[in-house]
Amino acid sequence: ARVLRGWMPSIRRTFAINSHDKEFLRFVRTQDPLVIKRIPIKWITAMINWGRRFKELSWGENVLLVVQGDEDDTVDWRYNQKKIAEKFPKSRFMPIKGARHHLAHESDEYFQRVVQAADIYFERRSTPR
């Protein structure tokens, strides 16, 4: 990525179909003022560095909740799930069948499953053991 930065400071961003909410996808592509049309090479470098730092993390005792759409094509969620489980063995993984990457902006059918997964998780966490 450093080699690219000298002659190509950014690359054109493409937009994936990462939600079932068509209105949200249209908004992101055409109106969202926070969405950039080009991805800085610095961002790619930061992502690579984050991956390295994650590998260096020590094992954690925290119980993480990972809610993941099983039709997410934006990230390699199967790989990530494996790595998170290695670092945080007490983690809880709750897949949402059919959901894509943008869980907070999914169509209502999928978003309600996300909320339900969180409710179940936090209800269990608050129950005395």
pTM of whole model > 0.85?
no
Domain harbouring 105, CATH code: 3.40.50.1820
User: What's residue 3's pLDDT?
Assistant: 57
- Per-residue pLDDT tens over the stretch 32-56: 998 888 989 888 889 899 999 998 8
* CA 23-35-48 angle, 5° bins: 120
As for how many domains the chain has, the answer is 1
User: What's residue 6's pLDDT?
Assistant: 65
Q: Which residues contact 73 (CB under 8 A, 6 or more apart)?
A: 16, 18, 100, 101
User: What's residue 53's pLDDT?
Assistant: 93
**Domain range for residue 72?**
2-126
